[in-house]
Structure 1
Amino acid sequence: MFTHEDVLQALADDLRCAHPGTAGTVYPRAVVDSRQVQPGDLFVGLRGERHDGSDFAPEAIARGAAGVLVERPPAAPCAAAVYVVPDSLRALHALARHVWRQHPLPTLSITGTVGKTSTKEVAARLFSHRYRVLTSEGGLNGEIGMPLVLLRREPAHEFAVIELGMYRRGEIALQCELAPPRYGIVTNIGYTHMERLGSVEAIVAAKQELVEHVPPEGTVALNGDDPRVLAMRAAARGRVLTYGTSSVCDVRGTGLESHGRAGIAFTLWAGGRSVRVRAPLPGPHNLYTCLAAATAALADGFSLEEIAVGLAEAVNPLRLQFLDGPHGTLIIDDTYNASPASMAAALRVLAEQRAGRRIAVLGDMLELGAVEEECHRELGRQAAAVVDLLFTVGPRARWAAEAARAAGLDAVQHLPSKEGLATAVRAALRPGDAVLLKGSRGLALETVVAELLEG
């Protein structure tokens, strides 16, 4: 939360008020989507490629916004405070920077190609055993989402767990400047964002900005099983702790057992001591999620026993939700997002299911640039080794369908869009089937899940 006075002070150099607002006004949060405005919010009208957020200020005010931060004032008079600036995104950054500097929190920042949202969710739950934690909802990150998180800080908060996303070089550095991290985690490096950054080397450089911004008195946790991440230790100014399954890692996981929807069990090692951990997170890939969160907690002084207790209560509401489907089927909803690594992990979870048949509904993986065709074809080959029936959806996913057929899977259906997808899947279902649905955020396949559950 923040005040009218915070806005005036943060934006003093650029601000002109079309309507001065009320002294002492407290804004519970800032929002950039007028449809999500709740009474008392500050609406920030950002200028995008297709829309100008200033055009939606009247809608935000009608929904109860107490103030609007825009580049053009509304045409009609209004009761809300109207803060007019030349660049609303720059103003959002200035406001978040000002508010955070007034009331900073020790911060754990997390980035990586895959797993940063899951790691954020698990780390926030783990650190909540010791602190009142500020964290983002869902995948709120990047140069727009991250400052919105900072502006939701409340007086009761004692620690922050923040996800850092990026589409370009410098974006993670900006976020670290807005909220300097005490601890950092880099989960892994993969091909997502190749379309925007052009090469894996550019992705490494962009993610490494977090490592470079952890101060000498801080600690960065690096995935020691990922060579590209491990190489970042040379850029670290603070202490480095590595995690993984390798014997040379500072924090290790051994003896992994995967129990399907019940989660995983493993032995956590650090400093020559160990503890057995059970975490209700399905899929072997979640070993790395747990190890990353555990490493950051160890850096903050948690004991192994405290970590085991915290991980036993870990949840990730965004990934691999097991739902009771129609006619005695199991729906595995992993529609939050998709990348080559997370697709492979989800297929491993599907393979563990004791089901009548294993069915996968796989959509496009976006932002892969020059490697998108080969990544989709590899996905098709992976799916052919696991599933009895494959549905693919989207123009890129047709490569997966072709590769699955070439690998010997006859039961493949490709749809150019998700129109009619739920009907096709429902018609194919038999009692006892397990169905995995997964695709990139842009496909919004959660609507297909909803249609299946209605049936």
Structure 2
Amino acid sequence: AQPHVGLVTVIAPVHLERAKTIERIVEAKSELLAALPAAPEGIAILNYDDERVREMAKATRARLFYYGLSPQADLWADQIEGLGLQGIRLQLHYGEETLSVKIPLLGRHSVHTALGAAVVGLAEGLTWQEIIEGLRGPSAQLRLVAVPGPRGSTILDDTYNASPTSTIAALNLLSELDGRKIAVLGDMAELGAYERDGHEVVGMRALDVADVLITVGPLGRIIGETALRWGMPAERVHLLNTNAEAVELLKRLVDEHDIILVKGSRVLQMEDIVSALVEH
């Protein structure tokens, strides 16, 4: 059946190995919007804060619905407060309505995800109470979850996949938390021509955030080498080849109150690191 609601969240440098250019990614995502029925049946939901996504409005005859952090959007948020592992608090604005909401999603980058989901709910006729209950429910939890680690540590399991944008967002969350910060970062696949630059920009952010940086894989090594080149002390950087090596190091290293971020592309199966530590 033809979809009547289409949501485009972001245009980011992922899948470039196949798509080759950002412009090709825009074209591919525009096909969804072009396939929607004309208004009023069709509804195109767009992230107002991403300029490329905003421009995609030209691709559709559907009714447009924007979300974001700008008052120009139909649904927008402000007064965003990160509550660490307790989630985020924010104020939602929709027409004349203003709602203050606390939701259990981790990291400020989750705000756009919550807004996009809320707009779909509005488009489908849900009440605000139903939407907020949905955002607070366990099924709303994103790919990034906090789980207890060995010796009273906490693991941020973000192993589903990785791109430069999502990895920097995860590092930003790590920076907001109390405790020694250990970043375990692996290869980010399918970046095409952006491969080296993408790993280097993550290395720069890891330098600012991590007390200990552990990298896994040949591309992950670029992250660590970048951090070293820009001044991270060598004793705080570990360049490893396999998940098993990372597990062995972490078992020796981890202490009470440590926060361990584990993130890498699907192909690395870095969830094996999390499983081994949780069982430890």
- Choose from 307, 322, 328 the match for 2:131: 307
Matches within 5 A, 1:407-418: 407-410=230-233, 411-418=236-243
| CA shift for structure 1 position 225 | 0.2
The number of residues matched between the two structures is: 276
Structure 2 distance, partners of 1:310, 1:422, is 36
Matches within 5 A, 1:394-433: 394-410=217-233, 411-433=236-258
Letter in 2 for 1:196: R
Aligned to 1:381: 204
Matches within 5 A, 1:319-338: 319-338=143-162
Letter in 1 for 2:243: K
CA deviation string 1:101-133 (max 9, x = no partner): xxxxxxxxxxxxxxxxxxxxxxxxxxxxxxxxx
Q: Is 2:34 the counterpart of 1:209?
A: no
SS of residue matched to 1:396: helix
Aligned to 1:11: none
Letter in 1 for 2:214: F
| CA shift for structure 1 position 309 | 3.0
| CA shift for structure 1 position 416 | 2.2
Moved more, 263-272 or 222-231: 263-272
Whether contact under 8 Å (2:243, 2:272) holds in the other structure is no
Matches within 5 A, 1:92-103: none
Structure 1 distance, partners of 2:168, 2:273, is 21
| CA shift for structure 1 position 213 | 1.1
CA deviation string 1:303-358 (max 9, x = no partner): 33432233222544552221111111111111111111110111111112111x10
Letter in 1 for 2:115: L
| CA shift for structure 1 position 396 | 0.7
Moved more, 311-320 or 212-221: 311-320
| CA shift for structure 1 position 302 | 2.6
Counting aligned pairs with the same residue, the percent is: 42
Unmatched 5+ residue regions in structure 2?
none
Whether contact under 8 Å (2:105, 2:141) holds in the other structure is no
Structure 2 distance, partners of 1:227, 1:273, is 26
CA deviation string 1:82-118 (max 9, x = no partner): xxxxxxxxxxxxxxxxxxxxxxxxxxxxxxxxxxxxx
Letter in 1 for 2:200: R
Aligned to 1:393: 216
Q: Is 2:68 the counterpart of 1:218?
A: no
Letter in 2 for 1:350: L
- Choose from 62, 74, 84 the match for 1:260: 84
Aligned to 1:363: 186
| CA shift for structure 1 position 451 | 1.2
Structure 2 distance, partners of 1:347, 1:199, is 26
- Choose from 219, 224, 236 the match for 2:60: 236
SS of residue matched to 1:385: helix
Aligned to 1:197: 19
Aligned to 1:294: 118
Structure number with the higher helix fraction is 2
- Choose from 437, 441, 450 the match for 2:262: 437
Structure 2 distance, partners of 1:338, 1:375, is 11
Larger radius of gyration: 1
Structure 2 distance, partners of 1:388, 1:256, is 26
Letter in 2 for 1:202: R
Q: CA RMSD in A?
A: 1.3
Higher relative contact order (CA 8 A, sep 6+): 2
Unmatched 5+ residue regions in structure 1?
1-178
Inter-CA distance 309–251: structure 2 relative to 1 (3 Å threshold): same
Structure 2 distance, partners of 1:277, 1:218, is 29
Whether contact under 8 Å (1:281, 1:314) holds in the other structure is no
Whether contact under 8 Å (1:188, 1:223) holds in the other structure is yes
| CA shift for structure 1 position 298 | 1.4
| CA shift for structure 1 position 429 | 1.3
Structure 1 distance, partners of 2:140, 2:249, is 29
| CA shift for structure 1 position 441 | 0.3
Question: With structure 1 as the length reference, what TM-score do the two structures score?
Answer: 0.59
Inter-CA distance 307–316: structure 2 relative to 1 (3 Å threshold): closer
Aligned to 1:269: 93
Whether contact under 8 Å (1:277, 1:311) holds in the other structure is no
CA deviation string 1:21-50 (max 9, x = no partner): xxxxxxxxxxxxxxxxxxxxxxxxxxxxxx
SS of residue matched to 1:257: strand
Structure 2 distance, partners of 1:446, 1:316, is 20
